[in-house]
A and B are shown apart, each in its own frame.
Chain A
Amino acid sequence: MKEQLEKIEALAKQELNECADIKALDDLRVKFLGKKGELTAILKQMGKLSAEERPVMGQLANKVRADIEEALASKLTALKSAAQAARLKEETIDVTLPGTHAPFGKLHPLTRVENEIREIFMGMGFEIADGPEIDDDYHVFEALNLPEDHPARDTQDTFYIDGTNETNLLRTQTSSVQVHVMENQKPPIRIISPGRVFRSDAVDATHSPLFHQIEGLVIDKGITMSDLKGTLEMLMKKLYGNDCKLRFRPHHFPFTEPSCEVDISCFNCGGKGCSMCKDEGYIELLGAGMVHPNVLRNCGIDPEEYSGFAFGLGLERMVMGRYDINDLRLLYENDVRFLEQF
């Protein structure tokens, strides 16, 4: 019997060695270990053995079973990993083929930069105010200290609405929104008003009869020109990095006093002077100033009690500077090949 067991083990191991697939392996398991298998057949003969031999043979039989099972298991693992390796090899693909794209659009560059600026201002506590694009003379001019016959009106190149006796017009600046806000809200006020404005400029690489402005207004007790400078410096550092420098130049706007124009150190030469900044080292960026007492008074705010500052920047110019766009018309032509780049 011992020989029989040893023979079975030897046979099993030999057949296992030759076995090449998982199905055949299963057949071997049945053949050797199954209910009608060879080992079972031998074990059935155990009854005929003497009482001394029975435990010895039993032990041996169990060992043979264990050995075969282990051999089966390790063969199975080997076969499985070989099969997987084969499948993996077969499944190899060209990873350089292009991926499958889900549709995915982009925001307009004007929106992108506007969002960026909005976020910076919201972080500084500015709310965003909207207002009508077609407004009246009072809100666009008169309340802003530009009464009828004011010479500065010439520079605004206003579009007027037919049949309204020049009282209704396309806003030339989003400062009109500031007037609406001041009429409806008591200080403290801290807002920006982004939006479309309209001026009668013929279309070319740097002009458009429609463009976007972002104007800001802060009114509270004790607001100073230092606050104006600090706020604009913060904005520009966040937009253009900590190395950029601002330069404040006296200027004139009817709605602010003192007024200034703000230049930023040239993006190209950093302030040394080059052809891009016409050897100035600086590029004109925006207009700003302390809100004129007449404007506050017109909006029912006492200039003795409150002060404030205002500023206005042109979005197109910021967008063009940011993305090196050399022709403003591209922004309004909306060629998909252009829009895809942002």
Chain B
Amino acid sequence: MNLSMKWLNEYVKADMPIKDLCHALTMSGSKVECYETEGSNISKVVVGKILSKGPHENADALFVCQVDVGEDAPIQIVTNAKNVKEGDLVPVARDGAVLPEGKIKKCKMRGVESFGMFCGLDTLGLTLHDFPYADPEGVFVIEEDCKPGDDIHEAIGLNDTSIEFEITSNRPDCLSVIGLARETAATYGIPLNVKAPEFKGIDGSAEDYLKVDIHNTTACPRYCAGIVKNVKIGPSPRWMRERLRASGVRPINNFVDITNYVMLEYGQPMHAFDLRYVEGGHINVRNAVSGEKIMTLDGVERELTSEMLVIADEKKPVAVAGVMGGEYSGIMEDTNTVVFESAYFEPTQVRRTSKNLKLKSDASARYEKGVDPRISMTCLKRAFELVELLGAGEVVKGVIDCSNPVPEQSKVAFDPEWTNAFLGTDISAEDMKEYLSRLEFTIKDGIITAPSFRIDIESKADIAEEVARIYGYNKIPSTDFRGVARAELTAEQKFVRDVRNACAALGGFEIATYSFVSPKYFDKIRLPENSPLRRAVKIVNPLGEDTSVMRTSTIPSMLDVLSFNYNNRNEKACLFEIAKEYLPVKVETDGSELTLANDETRHRHGYEYPLPYEPQMLTVGMYGGCDFYTIKGMIEQLLDKLRVYNVEYSRFDTEREVNCGELPSAEGTKSGEYYENEAFHPGRSAYITVGDKIIGIIGEVHPTVQENYSIGEKTYVAKLDIELLMALADEKITYKALPKFPASTRDISVLVDDSVPAADLEKAIRKGVGKILEKVTLFDVYKGKQIAEGKKSVSYSVSMRSHDGTLTDEQADSAMKKALKALAELGAELRG
């Protein structure tokens, strides 16, 4: 909303410095975005009177003028303007003048000195709408009441200041000059001068010309109309054009300007149309017939539905009620009789229509927020007052007022004690009454009645806001928090914090990525056609394909970031993210109950579509100076820190009973299919498992996937399910006594088939040695010379210790024999 200061001053004496006014209004709730004085980019331009116009000695197209600029001697100006003559008043940019396009300096034009320049409308940043009588091509010949030497701003009224407000959606009443004048008056406690509009009119009644029937009084409780005869279409006067311009509205002609003027002044949209095009002289406010069409003013043909309200004549719709008029019903050059409409339409009705037609207008923006339901007739009268003031036609005295009950004015108990208790203030009841009365609330018998334009008032809290904003938010005291409160993180929040800190301590840099991604990732990470991860939650109205589905895997996001870093020539990166995946939950076709946590409220609201499952994942990714064992080492250390024990790393093809936890729905158990196996190098990847549960996946990224993400180096990724990790973490820490007796250590090297995993050998040693085993450390794996093809030599250092006494050599040797026996079962034999 742009407010003209000249206009505002008509209703309230706002002569305080503009900066103070803007601040005061902002602090009382009408936020000022900025203010601008018109023509502030123009200086040293004055009115000049052309005393003589003669030929230029060196150029046929130029003229030399002597111009009176209000000084003792005239100045000489060279011009090419053909439309000026002796005696004309014109804007003269003098030497040193500033114009929107730049500075003006005296100069010689083809040898003749020129001390300035004549200005056209466009040079001054104006258009024909501002001064319709001007020659659009030539110099602006001023027909205003002014004299030579006058500053151009004053002379043509280019000196208004316009304030731009951000008006919140609950205060449509402030989308008007009077609304803001009222706020100004209330803020400063000064009088507001709005007088009821009056018009004289000629004898007769609008009913002689027009019949109005409302067929849907819920959507349109009130419809006022009147007639103006023998209209004279033409430009409106300068003061009106100036105010419209300062309000950001383009002047068109007197009738259109009057409707806009009243809308800006009172906030009530008006509509004026040509009676000729109202067939049968009969206005019907009715619902559209489904499929009915109308060409709206913007030249687009629109198909209507039966939920939409139209203003129709006997045959066809002439306007979409509260949204936009029809193309052929508007005011034209030859219009003779004009119908003015001022109506109240129900906000939701207008909002839905505007939304469904995808058509917004100044009128719909106001109606859908809610205009004053009791102001229709006042505004019709104001329009007629202006018609008479402008001499634009003859107003027929009798008007039409189809009136049905409109929404009641809100009533709220006046409870100063409650208000103070709610705000934490100590404002006297008298002051509260004063503030409310400035805002035109009335109080009688302890009941506050809100003015009809305040459609936002419902409860005591609303009254508290009114009191507080006039009192001043910043005068409300600040209190420290009272009472005792106990707060701690939940177990999950603590766990996530520990995971995050541990990952950073292990060298990971935390990243943040979008939850929505491009569905192209399905193919980029080689998800099989039947992978459940291809079933993603889709966004109906995404910004673009790149952010159109909710990720079912965090790995593509990690790969995107690794790729970004690789292609920015960062030589290495070790990254992690803790974030969600989004797995859609199937709707049971037999209508059986879903088992979502928030089922109860969802069922209460009749939502039939379950929310997706949002498991939280830890994703780690790295490239540069690392290998499989680097990322595995990091994960091992992390799991150790989190006290997750008995972790195994098994290849995807290992036969075992696995599940990855329960999906919280009828879907049942999540299987290994929920992992991105194909994204990995088949020989350098594994599930991370504990018992029969897959808790994560780890490995080198498949070369094709690496290529898909344009990463030119071996890349490693791991992903772990936070919820599963947390369930497995051993929270209890128990101190074990430090050993009293020395350990015995034996080294063994065994020869075994290359395919036997080291983890199995270690398990065999543990089993064989039994409870005196303290530690098994792998210290060498060797293939090559002296080792048969398909075999490897693996060496361990085995440390044994008893808590009951020093181990004898016999005890240690016997334990090692058992270990060798267990190893033999795997085909491992002692190496000589």
Contacts and interface: CB of A to CB of B under 8 A. Distances in A.
A333 B564 contact: yes
Interface in B476-529: 476-490, 492-493, 500-501, 503-516
A98 interface: no
Interface in A119-166: 121-122, 124-128, 130, 132-136, 138-139, 142, 149, 151-152, 155, 159-166
A226 B479 contact: yes
Contacts of A307: 422
Most chain B CB neighbours (cut-off 10 Å) among A107, A110, A222, A261: A107
A279 to B, nearest CB: 9
B407 interface: no
Contacts of A133: 515, 580, 582, 614
Given A152-B169, A198-B515, A257-B459, A225 B609 contact: no
A198 B574 CA distance: 28
A4 interface: no
B547 interface: yes
Given A250-B29, A252-B169, A220 B483 contact: yes
B607 A127 contact: no
A226 B482 CA distance: 11
A72 to B, nearest CB: 39
B568 interface: yes
Nearest to B580: A133
Contact of A138 (B424, B480, B492, B601): B601
Interface string A215-257: 0000010101111011101100000000000011111101001
Most chain B CB neighbours (cut-off 10 Å) among A106, A134, A135, A251: A134
B604 to A, nearest CB: 8
A227 B460 CA distance: 19
A130 B540 CA distance: 25
B605 interface: yes
Contacts of B537: 134, 161-162
B829 interface: no
Contacts of B297: none
Most chain B CB neighbours (cut-off 10 Å) among A106, A142, A258, A332: A258
A135 B611 contact: yes
Contact of B576 (A105, A136, A138, A230): A105
A339 B509 contact: yes
Contacts of A91: none
Given A260-B473, A334-B561, A249 B26 contact: yes
B504 A107 contact: yes
B500 A111 contact: yes
B368 interface: yes
A162 B539 contact: yes
A290 interface: yes
Interface string A281-323: 0000000001011000000000000010000000000000000
A interface: dominant SS: mixed
Contacts of A125: 481, 484-487
B817 interface: no
Given A110-B512, A127-B488, A258 B421 contact: no
A202 interface: yes
Interface residues of B, number: 93
Given A127-B488, A234-B481, A209 B611 contact: no
Most chain A CB neighbours (cut-off 10 Å) among B171, B490, B510, B602: B510
Contacts of B488: 122, 127
A121 B573 CA distance: 34
Given A111-B510, A124-B485, A132 B464 contact: no
Given A136-B607, A226-B479, A230-B481, A250 B601 contact: no
Given A136-B607, A332-B513, A227 B481 contact: yes
A180 B598 contact: yes
Contact of B422 (A107, A248, A290): A290
A340 interface: yes
A161 B26 CA distance: 38
Nearest to B616: A130
B509 A138 contact: no
Contacts of A333: 561, 564
A219 B173 CA distance: 32
Given A106-B504, A198-B515, A336-B570, A163 B538 contact: yes
A222 B509 CA distance: 45
Interface residues of A, number: 87
A254 B582 CA distance: 30
Given A160-B539, A162-B538, A290-B422, A334 B515 contact: no
B425 A226 contact: yes
A177 to B, nearest CB: 12
A189 to B, nearest CB: 10
Interface string B577-606: 000101000000000000000100110010
A188 B685 CA distance: 50
Contacts of A170: 515-516, 539
Interface string B529-561: 000000001111111000100100000000001
A224 B481 contact: no
B469 interface: yes
B462 interface: yes
A338 B369 CA distance: 45
A121 B481 CA distance: 11
B95 interface: no
Given A133-B614, A165-B609, A226-B479, A334 B512 contact: yes
B660 to A, nearest CB: 20
Interface string A165-190: 11110100000000010010000101
B478 A229 contact: yes
Contacts of B507: 102-105
B601 A149 contact: no
B565 A335 contact: yes
Contacts of B461: 257-258, 290, 292-293
Contacts of B490: 127-128
A334 B541 CA distance: 26
A166 B511 CA distance: 31
A107 B510 contact: yes
A75 interface: no
A259 B542 CA distance: 31
Contact of A224 (B369, B424, B542, B565): B424
A183 B487 CA distance: 19
B498 to A, nearest CB: 13
A44 B203 CA distance: 161
A176 B821 CA distance: 63
A202 B516 CA distance: 14
A46 interface: no
Contacts of B561: 333-334
Contact of A210 (B423, B459, B514, B608): B514
Given A149-B351, A190-B487, A209-B543, A336 B509 contact: yes
B509 A340 contact: yes
B505 A105 contact: yes
Interface in B221-240: none
Contacts of A105: 503-510, 574, 576
Interface of A: 102-108, 110-111, 121-122, 124-128, 130, 132-136, 138-139, 142, 149, 151-152, 155, 159-168, 170, 180, 183, 188, 190, 196, 198, 200, 202-203, 209-210, 220, 222, 224-227, 229-231, 233-234, 247-252, 254, 257-261, 290, 292-293, 307, 331-337, 339-340
Pick the 10 closest A-B CB pairs, nearest first: A125-B485, A103-B507, A226-B424, A224-B424, A250-B29, A258-B465, A252-B168, A162-B538, A334-B511, A248-B473
17 contacts: A105-B576, A108-B510, A111-B512, A138-B605, A149-B347, A159-B541, A162-B540, A188-B483, A188-B485, A210-B515, A226-B476, A227-B479, A230-B478, A252-B169, A257-B462, A292-B461, A331-B512
Given A122-B487, A249-B29, A250-B27, 9 more contacts: A125-B484, A149-B347, A210-B514, A222-B421, A234-B481, A249-B31, A251-B168, A290-B422, A335-B564
